[in-house]
Amino acid sequence: MSRTTMMIDPGLPTGLFTDVVASHGEYVELVKFGWGTALVTRDLDRKIAVLREAGIGFYFGGTLFERYLWGGRLDDYLALVERTGATHIEVSNGTIPLDQEAKAGYVRRMAAHRPVLSEVGYKDAERSALLTPADWVGAIEQDLAAGASLVITETRESGRSGMARPDGHLRDDVLAAVLAAVDPSRLLFEAPTKDLQVELIREIGPEVNLGNIAAADVLGVETLRQGLRGDTLLQFAPADFPRSRTVSVA
Amino acid sequence: MSRTTMMIDPGLPTGLFTDVVASHGEYVELVKFGWGTALVTRDLDRKIAVLREAGIGFYFGGTLFERYLWGGRLDDYLALVERTGATHIEVSNGTIPLDQEAKAGYVRRMAAHRPVLSEVGYKDAERSALLTPADWVGAIEQDLAAGASLVITETRESGRSGMARPDGHLRDDVLAAVLAAVDPSRLLFEAPTKDLQVELIREIGPEVNLGNIAAADVLGVETLRQGLRGDTLLQFAPADFPRSRTVSVA
Amino acid sequence: MSRTTMMIDPGLPTGLFTDVVASHGEYVELVKFGWGTALVTRDLDRKIAVLREAGIGFYFGGTLFERYLWGGRLDDYLALVERTGATHIEVSNGTIPLDQEAKAGYVRRMAAHRPVLSEVGYKDAERSALLTPADWVGAIEQDLAAGASLVITETRESGRSGMARPDGHLRDDVLAAVLAAVDPSRLLFEAPTKDLQVELIREIGPEVNLGNIAAADVLGVETLRQGLRGDTLLQFAPADFPRSRTVSVA
């Protein structure tokens, strides 16, 4: 998988979900049904059919994995994955008490069922702030060694925890250490705000994998990647332009 | 009425409104057409038909009541309520000069026409900040004595006035005093932000009545109530899970 | 053109775009396809057909003009304008290095093709902060003299740069100087946040031209203009009410 944009579905109504996929689906590689929304979504099967039709992968938020694990019902979780045809499994320890070592064990177990997206970082800003750059690198490398297809760097919806600081910008020390040790094509950076999207595209390039993109921002992220928005326009040489896949101006 | 989620319609286009009700209507008990939007909504009758079909109550924002009252046209307001079939009347003094005593008088008058939702608190943050915990309790008790079905605690769309502080968190002193005096089933807490939703569910429990919920957050609020999101997951014992009404994982 | 509300399309899915125009189109005079989104919008032609049907003008964000100009391909930009039937051309220097003098030259050139909306102010908050009130007035007057139909005062999506301060409020000194020199009917104020919308309506009146209005805020802005929301209700005399175009309460 290369140049992944992961869109989060925080509970879109079914018609709007379908509309987004029909209009912008070509710019979306993965959809995450955020946290446990899948369990209260009446039309989950219809949404899944829309994604299957469009050739877009999907999975459930790590919080749902954690909820089942915490309840001692991992078999039920795997049954849900099987029944729905989820294409990936996210393994995380963002909320429940589960140390990195144990989490890596679940990465290994789940990888027997689906490609695993493992997550590093906590939802709680204070807990995440205590993670050193070396902690981040160590956890990412351990998850990859355990068989994760991609490692997700946590930055929850507010854009102010996980790899982001309370001011909404990236922790530069963490990012530098991670990029020195890991190929960014193995990472999926959660980037729910435009500030984070711009920082990551400027730093890593237009092909960076971005996640937790809101439906309303899918097209905006694509313009950032292509230098079609003020924030990244000057990064592209004039001759690069345009690279549009959809509009011919000739 | 128990466990009410009140969704605010701040002027959704008609198709999206219909889509939200079709997709998430089972989690919505009341819809408020925010402030005076009803007067400039071309398809108001179609929206109302959608709600009636789904068995969801609706009413007009208190600002519209205040606007008619201030213009000396309360009869016209009642005619609007009759013509549209609004199921409730909100009585408030969030903006116009109308003291608590006089407001309670209107609660009594309007209760002859519809179940009344009365509101306590001002839209202006500075005016609201001057209300003491005792002022809040007194006003709520007076409105209930005057016949209000539910009392709404004002926290306008920004989540930074009324019962919330400028930093977006609840005024704990006010909340504690109110809960010591009033059964929370008689209160509808406006909670337009996730921070407020989480605080109220943690403090009062999953059955707390929540209002000013955006269409985009209806499903998210439901997951908070059910312990399916990181913020409230650890409140629920593992064995509580899952309580989904819609997905069987067996 | 008088009393213009310009809605920005930041990449809405096609169904929602159509829904907004069908539901609220009577309150929208102009649509801007934000920055370079037009080049990655699969259904651009369908969106344009919807606008043409509704009699709403449209144009492309100034960033797209800048991108073509910077790439030395202004002829291609004019071909795009011709092919799509855009009703206006925005000329700006918000991002690329192009001084005011040179920008005014492009205003003159483009005015031979379409009515020109020229923009004053930079996207970068620090660059914009260096512009004095006299700089703003001078640039606006120069653009009008060069043939601009309307001059747009930049305040990008965050509402925290251009004519706004980092705290999200208007630069009063700039606004006062501009209004002392220029008829506000020749200006289109970008006002992406409710705070800015309220400030401008209070200061200039309900007929002020407002731009960068989100689809979700179109109806809300109309209620602010008509005194149907708490923020502007007390500005209107009781007898002014109601001025609704769509609901009869008689």
The first and second tokens of residue A232, run together, are 């990244």
Element (H, E) at A151: strand A150-153
The rounded radius of gyration (Å) of the Cα atoms in chain C is: 18
Classify A118 as helix, strand or coil. Answer: strand
For residue B112, give every residue at least 6 positions away whose Cβ sits within 8 Å of its Cβ, in sequence order, or none.
none
pLDDT(B158) > 80: no
Q: How far, in Å, CA of A161 to CA of A164, rounded?
A: 5
Residue C222 C-beta-side C-alpha neighbours within 13 Å: 27
Kindly give the interhelix angle for A133-145 and A172-181, rounded to the nearest 10 degrees.
40
Q: How far, in Å, CA of A88 to CA of A60, rounded?
A: 8
Do B246 and A41 make contact, defined as CB atoms within 8 angstroms? Answer: yes
pLDDT(C1) > 60: no
Do A35 and B228 make contact, defined as CB atoms within 8 angstroms? Answer: yes
Do A249 and C76 make contact, defined as CB atoms within 8 angstroms? Answer: yes
Do A23 and C42 make contact, defined as CB atoms within 8 angstroms? Answer: yes
pLDDT(B231) > 50: yes
> B42 lies in a domain?
yes
The pLDDT of residue B248: 37
Longest dimension (CA), chain C: 60
What average pLDDT does this structure show over A130-155?
95
Q: How far, in Å, CA of B233 to CA of B98, rounded?
A: 43
pLDDT tens for residues C29-48? Answer: 999 999 999 999 999 999 99
The pLDDT of residue A126: 84
Contact C103, C143 (CB under 8 A): yes
> C248 lies in a domain?
no
Angstroms from C191 CA to nearest CA on chain B: 17
Name the least confident of A135-144, B76-85, B228-237, C222-231: B228-237
> A58 lies in a domain?
yes
* ipTM of this predicted structure: 0.93
The pLDDT of residue B244: 46
Do C218 and B71 make contact, defined as CB atoms within 8 angstroms? Answer: no
What average pLDDT does this structure show over C153-176?
85
The pLDDT of residue C248: 37
Q: What percent of chain A has pLDDT over 90?
A: 81
Domain ranges, residue B68: 5-240
- pLDDT category at C242 given cuts 50, 70, 90 is low
Do B13 and C24 make contact, defined as CB atoms within 8 angstroms? Answer: yes
With CA atoms as reference, report the closest residue to A120 among A145, A100, A149. A100
How far lies B56's CA from each of A149, B24, B77, in Å? 45, 11, 21
Q: How far, in Å, CA of C219 to CA of C232, rounded?
A: 14
Angstroms from C63 CA to nearest CA on chain A: 6
Q: How far, in Å, CA of A205 to CA of A188, rounded?
A: 13
Q: Which chains touch B (3 or more CB pairs under 8 A)?
A: A, C
Burial class (CB in 10 A: 0-12, 13-18, 19+), A99: exposed
> A171 lies in a domain?
yes
> C194 lies in a domain?
yes
pLDDT(B246) > 70: no
Q: How many CB atoms lie within 10 A of CB C97?
A: 9
- Taking all residues of chain C, what is their mean pLDDT, rounded to a whole number? 92
Report how far Cα C110 is from the mean position of its chain's Cα atoms: 18
pLDDT tens for residues C182-201? Answer: 999 999 999 999 999 999 99
Q: How many CB atoms lie within 10 A of CB A1?
A: 14
pLDDT(C136) > 80: yes
Q: How far, in Å, CA of B180 to CA of C94, rounded?
A: 56
Angstroms from C223 CA to nearest CA on chain B: 6
Q: How far, in Å, CA of B215 to CA of A58, rounded?
A: 23
> A250 lies in a domain?
no
> C247 lies in a domain?
no
How far lies C189's CA from each of A241, C26, C30, in Å? 30, 20, 13
- Greater confidence, A245 or C143? C143
Pick B229's closest partner by Cβ from A35, A83, A96. Answer: A35
Contact C9, C212 (CB under 8 A): no
Angstroms from C233 CA to nearest CA on chain B: 7
- pLDDT category at B240 given cuts 50, 70, 90 is low
DSSP calls for chain C = --S-EEEEESS--HHHHHHHHHHHGGG-SEEEE-TTGGGG-TTHHHHHHHHHHHT-EEEE-HHHHHHHHHTT-HHHHHHHHHHHT-S-EEE--SSSS--HHHHHHHHHHHTTTS-EEEEES-SSHHHHHT--HHHHHHHHHHHHHTT-SEEEEP--TTSSSTTB-TTSSB-HHHHHHHHHHS-GGGEEEE--SHHHHHHHHHHH-TT--EEEE-GGGHHHHHHHHTT-SHHHHTTS-GGG----SS----
Q: Residue A153's beta-bridge partner residues?
A: A120, A189
The pLDDT of residue A160: 78
Name the least confident of B116-120, B187-191, C241-245: C241-245
What average pLDDT does this structure show over C1-14?
92
State the CATH number of the domain containing residue A64: 3.20.20.70
Chain A, residues 214-233, CB within 8 A of chain B, namely: none
Contact C119, C62 (CB under 8 A): yes
Residues of chain A with Cβ-Cβ distance to C36 below 8 Å are 223, 226, 228-229
pLDDT tens for residues B52-62? Answer: 999 999 999 99
Q: How far, in Å, CA of B68 to CA of B106, rounded?
A: 13
Contact B224, B231 (CB under 8 A): yes
Kindly give the interhelix angle for C14-24 and A14-24, rounded to the nearest 10 degrees.
120
Do A76 and B26 make contact, defined as CB atoms within 8 angstroms? Answer: no
- Taking all residues of chain B, what is their mean pLDDT, rounded to a whole number? 92
With CA atoms as reference, report the closest residue to A7 among A243, A222, A201. A222
Do B37 and C223 make contact, defined as CB atoms within 8 angstroms? Answer: yes
Contact B11, B37 (CB under 8 A): yes
Domain tally, chain C: 1
Classify B7 as helix, strand or coil. Answer: strand
Contact A57, A29 (CB under 8 A): yes
> B59 lies in a domain?
yes
The pLDDT of residue C249: 37
C36 touches chain A (CB under 8 A): yes
pLDDT(C240) > 80: no
Angstroms from B35 CA to nearest CA on chain C: 6
Chain B, residues 88-147, CB within 8 A of chain C, namely: 94-96, 123
Q: Which chains touch C (3 or more CB pairs under 8 A)?
A: A, B
- Mean pLDDT is highest, among A112-126, A151-165, C233-247, for A112-126
Q: How far, in Å, CA of A187 to CA of A209, rounded?
A: 7
Exposure b/e, C193-203, CB count within 10 A at least 16 = b: bbbbbbbbbee
pLDDT(A245) > 70: no
The rounded radius of gyration (Å) of the Cα atoms in chain A is: 18
Angstroms from B235 CA to nearest CA on chain C: 34
Phi, psi of A6 (to 5 degrees): -100, 120
pLDDT tens for residues A87-128? Answer: 999 999 999 999 999 999 999 999 999 999 999 988 888 888
The pLDDT of residue A176: 95
Contact B162, B154 (CB under 8 A): yes
Mutate to test the interface with A, among B50, B231, B241 (most CBs of A within 10 A): B241
Residues of chain C with Cβ-Cβ distance to B9 below 8 Å are none
The pLDDT of residue C239: 67
Q: How far, in Å, CA of B195 to CA of B198, rounded?
A: 5
